[in-house]
Structure 1
Amino acid sequence: MRTEFSLAQLADPAIAEADKILRACVHCGFCTATCPTYVLLGDELDSPRGRIYLIKDMLEADRPAGPEEAKHIDRCLSCLSCMTTCPSGVHYMHLVDHARTHIAQTYRRPWHERALRTLLARTIPNPRLFRLASAAATLGKPLAPLLARAGFSRVAAMLRLAPSHVLPAPTPSGRVFPAEGTRRGRVGLLSGCVQRVLSPDINAATIRVLTRHGYDVVLPAGEGCCGSVTHHMGDEEHALAAARANVTAFAAEIDGAGLDAIVSTASGCGTTMKDYGFMLRADPAFADTAARVAGLVRDISEVLHGLGDMKRAPVPALSVAYQAPCSLQHGQKVVRQPKEVLARLGFTVRDVPEGHLCCGSAGTYNILQPDLSDRLRDRKIANLESLAPDVIAAGNIGCITQLAGATAIPVVHPVALVDWATGGPKPAALAGIVAGDASPRTPPA
């Protein structure tokens, strides 16, 4: 793609990076076939190629974003399926992230949208505030259908996603969990923000599995939200502040007792953390350290895959529909490891039809774009239920929350199944399954 940025514009490192990405695009359109919003809407401007043209025009003209750019960029899930499909290696993630920041800095949204985005950006990354907000939403959950019919779809979406009961207090950071038996190494664990509140059992299962297999697990003091919530809303200031806090916390452990890996159990967080080197590349105080931290980040499935054979406990031979989170399969290119780990432990793993398409969660997308999100969720649920599995496994808290409220099939994190299959407790979602009472189901004709 030909670009026409001025020399003055190209002196800005962010514009120079955007120029490099834009020039890699050859207009082929392969990305349109795998873009969820284009599949739903059939609008070229709601495809990666169409958004690239919008971004190019906006940045080259050096003009503020308008409602048209905001509408179509907002509709992008940042699922990154286009990056898996693209034959030219266009780094769409960095381009759309830059566009979101430009929109946040130059476009004044309607007051009610500004208020909602501010609420999400300040509440979700803070576990204490998020827990209080979740408790309030739990009480208001029965009102969701009424609010949806009244046209308050975003408020209704927040209530539908709320937990069904008041949640326990999050586990504090600054703790070390020692290895059991022969010590293999030492890893840091990101406890994060959303998962830490909505599903603390995922981190607990991770700690049990890793310590059971010889790893010291440390939750560094000062670690927290990875920054992706604000990053994907274009709030660069708060996203980079979160990144710096985590880089500082994990670097202190690396330089202290040392870390063999930094483990993420939420794939969206892992994708952002693996990009810390790029995000902080222009910060002389953090650039080198951020790259060093990012280089150690691993999804939990990558770590478990590296363990090889694990000691197995007697659990049912369950049929597992593996829902690959977009941030894991497209963002981190981690595809086979989660499935192979589950298969090694005796689970029958089934690939999901249209597995490349997003479930519609995408961070805050299911709140900010509830109609599109619901359509994608329903499409995903239909594909999952067509397999008639005993359980659905997804390695991202957003996917788990999105899917669990729309199907009777239990939805769990793969690490919970690994924990159970290697001697840990049964996942709460599988309370009705007794060891030995289940076998793979036959998909409907």
Structure 2
Amino acid sequence: MQTNLADFIKNTRAGKEADDILRKCVHCGFCTATCPTYQLMGDELDGPRGRIYLIKQVLEGKPATEKTQQHLDRCLTCRNCESTCPSGVQYGRLLDIGRQVVEQQVQRPLSQKIVRETLKAILPRPWIFQPAMRLGQSLRPLLPQSLKNKVPVRQESGSWAHTSHVRKMLLLDGCVQPAMAPNINAATSRVLSSLGVELIVTPKAGCCGAIRHHLNDHEAALDDMRRNIDAWWPLVEAGAEAIVMTASGCGVTVKEYGHMLAHDANYAQKAERISALTRDLSEILPEFEAQLVQKLQGKLSQRIVWHPPCTLQHGQQIRGKVEGLLKALGVDVQLCADSHLCCGSAGTYSVLQSKISYQLRDNKLHNLLATKPDMVLSANIGCLTHLQSGTETPVKHWIELIDRALANSALSE
């Protein structure tokens, strides 16, 4: 694709990156075949190729409009198109650049501003979000369905494993997951402790930065990233061997810290090191497959359907690891039709684009439940909450299944 970027962005870091990405696009349209919003709406401008044209026009000097913003807002940032693209177009990075430029040119309605500012203010701050979630859970029977969908039934986490081990890894507790599904990280600590690994949570680490970044507040997101690096760095220097991610949405963001902070002389090298150490839980547990098989001895017999989050299969390009491990442990693992498509959660998307989001959720649940599973398993808090809001079938993080099996196995010995 030929480009002629406008002077306001031509020689900037963002402009040079956008120009490189745009030039890789060959207009083939393969991306439209795997774009969830294009599949729903059939509008070229609601597919990756159309959005690339819109971004190109804005970067070349054409003023952005409300329509431009609307089409970019409707993108889930699922990055399915990146998995499909034969030319290696890094669409997600281009979209980030395009959205920020459009945000500077187009004045949003007051109602949108209030919602977006509220999300940025509350979600990344556990000291606000957790009490708010607790209140919502206590009032859940009285809430309208639209709010019930965002407020999962309260669950207990069980005890955290406090046994000291020689092997030590860091864990990002996250911002919303501890309030919405506290058992996930506690279960991870118990499973890894049983395998001889101690998980350490650093209190000063918080939101990975994804929420503010995808709401176009890039500077605040970079501050979130710097804070996490500062919190982790002493333990990294002390020899922590990995930074474990139990939410794939956080994982894909932390793995990009090196890119995000490459321009920051004070943090560039540290950020690269943090990204290199970051591993999704599905990259760690398969290393312990033999030990888990021995501990469980075929005692897992559930029939599950696996929903791979977009941030895992497209963002991090991790496929097959969870399914392979569970199958080795005796689980009947199913994949649904169109398992590559987004469930519609996509961070704050289910709030900001609720109509599209719930259409995608219902389509996904139809395919998932057609496999007649005992439960649905996934790997990202947003997907878990979103899918559970539409079904009575249990939707859990896959580590919770292993944790429960290990506990039952210990009781039977």
What TM-score, normalized to structure 1?
Answer: 0.87
SS of the equivalent of 1:312 reads helix
Quick check: 1:211 aligned with 2:193? yes
C-alpha distance in 2 between matches for 1:298 and 1:193? 18
Match of 2:223 in 1: 241
Match of 1:265 in 2: 246
What is the CA deviation profile of residues 349-402 of structure 1, one whole-angstrom value per residue up to 9, with x for unaligned ones? 111110011000000111111100010000000001110011110000011001
Quick check: 1:313 aligned with 2:296? yes
Match of 1:199 among 181, 184, 203: 181
Match of 1:331 in 2: 315
Deviates more, 1:212-221 or 1:304-313: 304-313
The CA deviation at 1:21 is 0.4
SS of the equivalent of 2:334 reads strand
C-alpha distance in 1 between matches for 2:141 and 2:6? 52
More helix by share: 2
Root mean square deviation, CA, Å: 2.3
Instruction: Quickly say closer, same or farther: Cα 1:92–1:230, change in 2 above 3 A.
Output: same
C-alpha distance in 1 between matches for 2:88 and 2:158? 40
SS of the equivalent of 1:417 reads helix
Instruction: Quickly say closer, same or farther: Cα 1:36–1:12, change in 2 above 3 A.
Output: same
Match of 1:250 in 2: 232
Instruction: Quickly say closer, same or farther: Cα 1:119–1:170, change in 2 above 3 A.
Output: farther
Q: Are 1:312 and 1:345, in contact at CA under 8 Å, matched by a contact in 2?
A: no
Letter in 2 for 1:102: V
The CA deviation at 1:177 is 3.8
Equivalent residues in 2 for 1:38-437 (5 A)?
38-61=38-61, 63=63, 65-138=64-137, 139=139, 142-145=142-145, 156=146, 158-165=147-154, 177-179=162-164, 183=166, 185-255=167-237, 257-309=238-290, 310=292, 311-313=294-296, 315-423=299-407
Q: Are 1:313 and 1:423, in contact at CA under 8 Å, matched by a contact in 2?
A: no
List gaps (5 residues or longer) in structure 1.
Answer: 146-155, 427-434, 436-445
List gaps (5 residues or longer) in structure 2.
Answer: none
What is the CA deviation profile of residues 172-195 of structure 1, one whole-angstrom value per residue up to 9, with x for unaligned ones? xxx994446xx4x21100000111
The CA deviation at 1:263 is 0.3
The CA deviation at 1:127 is 1.0
Letter in 2 for 1:250: W
What is the CA deviation profile of residues 85-105 of structure 1, one whole-angstrom value per residue up to 9, with x for unaligned ones? 000000011111112222333
The CA deviation at 1:251 is 1.7
The CA deviation at 1:143 is 4.1
C-alpha distance in 1 between matches for 2:94 and 2:189? 36
Q: Are 1:187 and 1:263, in contact at CA under 8 Å, matched by a contact in 2?
A: yes
C-alpha distance in 1 between matches for 2:115 and 2:184? 28
